[in-house]
């Protein structure tokens, strides 16, 4: 994982390279923020600085140290091999520090490669350092050739950028199942793991494809394929506007993003339905649902949870056999996919390595893929056959909130779209659409309960262990709600289908364990009540979230929060918003780093 940034430009403005690299790294911090570093060329030598922690700390360090002026590369890290430390921070060097590399990805055969070096030149615990030594060993004056030779020995996924003291005017880059964008400006050149790091610059941008390399100088970029043949790569203007990020008066981006949901849900709906025909419409999709016999949804983390809910919607509304699979597991199952299987890959970032690998496997088996994504120009949008955007706006907090509810509403629209092409009547379509259109209002009503939710969150923040229980649509909702609590409060929160408790987990129930019960589905509410009775009999406090007017749970609830009622299929949206608030307020009590929790990254770019 990690973010790479690099710059070469005129050397008149001595601080420009490091300033732009720091700015670029800040935009890439969503890929990791354990440590950061920079290296370039100053007076014919590699000059570097590294720092544990976020990019802001590297920035402070650079104010007190020499900064590189020539070709410069920089890196923000999410530790895979080796602890987050200054030593393990990138860039990495060869023995005499004649070159520096920054790497995103994992070198799977690093141990075998390291064993080739008799004299043990390694100073770090990383898999990446070996790349610097391999390039150095292959180097005899032509940096591109040396990088090519080294890269041919590597197994795994990687994007690399390399600078060498003998070549102050060039950066060599390559991409191998990891993204790398190159931006050409007026007498300057940028490289980055993600083109969004170029925001604010007026650049012509190209993305390296798998196996490609490039020699970048300030006025020329030459791209080569894996055999070393020069390519005529098109560079395009992407219209990447720099957005001024602001918390808008909220204490955290997470809280701001939770509060944005009435608006983001509305954006996801806008222009995507027809009242007259009681259906959804997607300009971006041009195929008939009649041919789709099976839907396979792929995603990780929150996006997988959205997929679980989506699969239930496709089955219940459109009567299409559907499954959601965790992308990291899917590709190792030798999945059965035929031409009637439609794959929907869900990813907020569009850069999750496991999801991309799963998409490639599905495509290799002949499937057509709809990418459901929040970020334009991401790898998923480039690799999918069709793209449906979430329209949630930039999500800054590592803990996903508004992207999740946008995924749910978009999946619900898609389920309606398929259902109406099959057997759903216009009247039933209109009734479902009316509920969908009501969601922004329902979520506004949930937000109005913030104070009550904060109060119970403060009360329950003293517990160390939580069970989140739900049935039917509320089970995936509880998976997502418990993930929110884990991520930002670092508390142990396990989600279970309530009916499964008696098959084992109930052994853990007792006064020291708090149960959060999501009771938003009408069809299973009596069953849910029985399961909660069994918990109450064993003395766990129970925090119930139930629909307004529902009295069934009063007998079991230690505390109860009432939420606006809506049909079972869509209840996950208002309930998720309430549970996001609950996790947020617990984390406030715990005084954690809410927007950038420990050990996490916004975009997980390694498998
Ligand atoms: O960008 P993606 O949607 O592909 O990311 C998938 C997961 O890494 C992500 O949802 C993660 O679980 C979030 N931190 C959850 O809040």
- pLDDT tens across 354-384, in order? 999 999 999 999 899 999 999 988 999 999 9
Q: How confident is the model at residue 238 (pLDDT cuts 50, 70, 90)?
A: confident
- Our mutation pick for probing the ligand 1 site, out of 257, 301, 306, 349, counting the most ligand atoms within 8 A of Cβ, is 301
For residue 49, the model assigns a pLDDT of: 95
Within 10 Å of residue 522's Cβ, how many Cβ atoms? 14
Domains within the chain, CATH numbers bracketed: 3-237 (3.60.20.10), 247-437 (3.40.50.10490), 447-593 (3.40.50.10490)
- Our mutation pick for probing the ligand 1 site, out of 33, 196, 352, counting the most ligand atoms within 8 A of Cβ, is 352
Task: Give rounded-to-5 percent helix, strand, coil for the chain.
Answer: 40, 25, 40
Residue with CA nearest ligand 1 atom 9: 301
Percentage of residues in the chain having pLDDT higher than 90:
85
For 304-344, write each residue's pLDDT tens digit: 999 999 999 999 999 999 999 999 999 888 888 988 899 99
φ/ψ (deg, to 5) at 359: -60, -45
514 touches 466 (CB < 8 A) = yes
- Our mutation pick for probing the ligand 1 site, out of 1, 388, 604, counting the most ligand atoms within 8 A of Cβ, is 604
Q: Which of 117-121, 496-500, 587-591 has the lowest mean pLDDT?
A: 117-121
Ligand 1 within 6 A of CB of 595: no
For residue 65, the model assigns a pLDDT of: 81
Ligand 1 within 6 A of CB of 487: yes
* Atom of ligand 1 at shortest range from CA of 602: 14
Separation between Cα atoms, residue 296 and residue 367, nearest integer Å: 10
455 has catalytic annotation? no
519 has catalytic annotation? no
Q: Of 542, 104, 15, which is closest to residue 351 (Cα–Cα)?
A: 104
Q: Of 307, 316, 299, which is closest to residue 476 (Cα–Cα)?
A: 307
For residue 248, the model assigns a pLDDT of: 86
Tokens of 351: 């850069």
Percentage of residues in the chain having pLDDT higher than 70:
99
Residue with CA nearest ligand 1 atom 12: 301
For residue 118, the model assigns a pLDDT of: 81
Angle at 127 between CA 126 and CA 130, to 5 degrees: 105
Centroid of ligand 1 to alpha carbon of 601 (angstroms): 9
Give Cα separations from 327 to 86, 291, 405 (angstroms).
Answer: 33, 24, 20
Separation between Cα atoms, residue 124 and residue 136, nearest integer Å: 17
Torsional sign, CA 328, 331, 336, 338: positive
What is the rounded average pLDDT of the residues 464-471?
97
Residue with CA nearest ligand 1 atom 4: 347
Separation between Cα atoms, residue 469 and residue 398, nearest integer Å: 24
């Amino acid at each position: 994982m990690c973010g790479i940034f690099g710059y070469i430009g005129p050397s008149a403005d001595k601080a420009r390279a490091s300033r732009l690299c720091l700015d670029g790294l800040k935009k890439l911090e969503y890929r990791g923020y354990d440590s950061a570093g920079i290296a370039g060329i100053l007076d014919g030598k590699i000059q570097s600085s590294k720092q544990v922690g976020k990019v802001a700390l590297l920035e402070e360090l650079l104010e007190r140290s020499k900064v590189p002026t020539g070709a410069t590369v920089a890196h923000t890290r999410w530790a895979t091999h080796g602890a987050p430390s200054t030593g393990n921070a990138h860039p990495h060097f060869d023995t005499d520090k004649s070159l520096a590399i920054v790497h995103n990805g994992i070198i799977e055969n690093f141990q075998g490669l390291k064993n080739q070096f008799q004299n043990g030149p390694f100073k770090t615990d990383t898999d990446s350092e070996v790349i610097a030594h391999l390039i150095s060993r292959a180097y005899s004056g032509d940096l591109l050739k040396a990088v090519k030779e080294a890269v041919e020995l590597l197994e795994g996924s990687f994007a690399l950028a390399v600078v060498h003291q003998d070549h102050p005017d060039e950066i060599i880059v390559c991409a191998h199942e990891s993204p790398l964008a190159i931006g050409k400006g007026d007498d300057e050149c940028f490289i980055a793991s993600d083109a969004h790091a170029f925001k604010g610059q007026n650049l012509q941008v190209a993305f390296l494809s798998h196996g490609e390399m490039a020699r970048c100088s300030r006025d020329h970029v030459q791209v080569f394929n894996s055999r070393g043949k020069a390519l005529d790569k098109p560079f395009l203007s992407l219209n990447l506007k720099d957005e001024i990020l602001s918390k808008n008066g909220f204490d955290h981006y997470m809280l701001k993003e939770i509060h944005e949901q009435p608006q983001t849900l509305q954006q996801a709906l806008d222009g995507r339905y027809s009242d007259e025909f009681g259906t959804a419409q997607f300009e971006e999709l041009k195929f008939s649902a009649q041919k789709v016999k099976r839907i396979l949804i792929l995603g990780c983390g929150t996006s997988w949870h959205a997929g679980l809910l989506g699969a239930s919607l496709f089955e219940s509304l459109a009567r299409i056999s559907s499954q959601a699979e965790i992308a990291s597991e899917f590709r190792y199952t030798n999945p059965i996919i035929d031409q009637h299987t439609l794959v929907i890959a869900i990813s907020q970032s569009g850069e999750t390595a496991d999801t991309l690998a799963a998409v490639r496997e599905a495509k290799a088996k002949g499937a057509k893929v709809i990418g459901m994504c929040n970020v334009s120009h991401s790898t998923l949008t480039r690799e999918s056959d069709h793209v449906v955007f979430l329209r949630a706006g930039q999500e800054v907090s590592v803990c996903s909130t508004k992207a999740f509810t946008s995924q749910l509403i978009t999946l619900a629209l898609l389920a309606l779209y398929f259902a109406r092409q099959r057997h759903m009547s216009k009247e039933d379509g209109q009734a479902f659409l009316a509920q969908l259109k009501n969601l922004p209002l329902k979520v506004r009503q949930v937000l109005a309960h913030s104070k009550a939710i904060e109060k119970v969150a403060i009360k329950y923040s003293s517990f160390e262990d939580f069970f989140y229980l739900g049935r039917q649509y509320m089970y995936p909702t509880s998976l997502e709600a418990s993930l929110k609590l884990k991520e930002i409060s670092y508390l142990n929160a396990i989600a279970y289908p309530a009916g499964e408790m008696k098959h084992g987990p109930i052994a853990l129930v007792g006064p020291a364990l708090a149960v959060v019960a999501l009771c938003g589905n009408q069809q299973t509410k009596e069953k849910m009540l029985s399961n909660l009775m069994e918990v109450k009999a064993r003395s766990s406090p129970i925090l119930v979230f139930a629909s307004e007017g529902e009295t069934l749970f009063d007998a079991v609830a230690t505390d109860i929060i009432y939420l606006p009622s809506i049909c079972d299929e869509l209840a996950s949206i208002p309930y998720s918003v309430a549970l996001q608030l609950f996790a947020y307020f617990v984390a406030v009590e715990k005084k954690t780093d809410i927007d950038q929790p420990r050990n996490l990254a916004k975009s997980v770019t390694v498998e």
